[in-house]
Amino acid sequence: MRKADNCLIVGVLLAAALSAMIYYRVTLLRTATAVDTRAVIKVRGRIVRTIDLLKDGKQSVYQVQGSIGHAHLEVDGSRVRMREAPCPDRTCILQGWIERPGESIVCLPNLVEIRIEGGNGLDAVTR
């Protein structure tokens, strides 16, 4: 191993740590007490549906036509999850429930993205 190699490895690790920190700040440190949140569902980057998430809302299932098949989303009060998906690896389903603003479920094979937005009356926070 050369010196330059080691610099490269350190650089990659730093980049990984940085993206992990941003990920942590954006998704995990958001307050769980956010109100007025909504789930924005995108297929191929286009918003196909927006669902208002209410704390005392009822449980319901939505169906969205993705790139390779139907995705079934389940909304339970203020949280949402992917319940059924036609993708081979099922990562989106295994991710479970999301409810904090900024959290998202991305199903790459099916090109479906669920993202929680809103909360505290802010659209976005600059960092």
Please report whether residue 28 would count as binding other proteins according to CB under 8 A. no
Q: What are the residues whose beta carbons fall under 8 Å from the beta carbon of 70, sequence distance 6 or more? A: 63, 64, 84, 86
Asked if 50 touches other proteins (CB under 8 A), the answer is no
Residue of 45, 115, 47 lying closest to 82 (CA atoms) = 115
Applying CB under 8 A, the span of 29-37, 51-59, 110-118, 119-127 interacting with other proteins comes to 110-118
**CB of 58: closest distance to other proteins in angstroms?**
27
H or E stretch covering 30: none
* Cβ-defined contacts of 90-99 (< 8 Å, 24+): 99/32, 99/37, 99/53
The one among 115, 117, 118, 119 contacting other proteins by CB under 8 A: 115
Binding site for other proteins (CB under 8 A): 1-5, 8-9, 12-13, 15-17, 19-20, 22-23, 26-27, 42, 44-46, 67, 89, 91, 104, 106, 108-109, 111, 113, 115
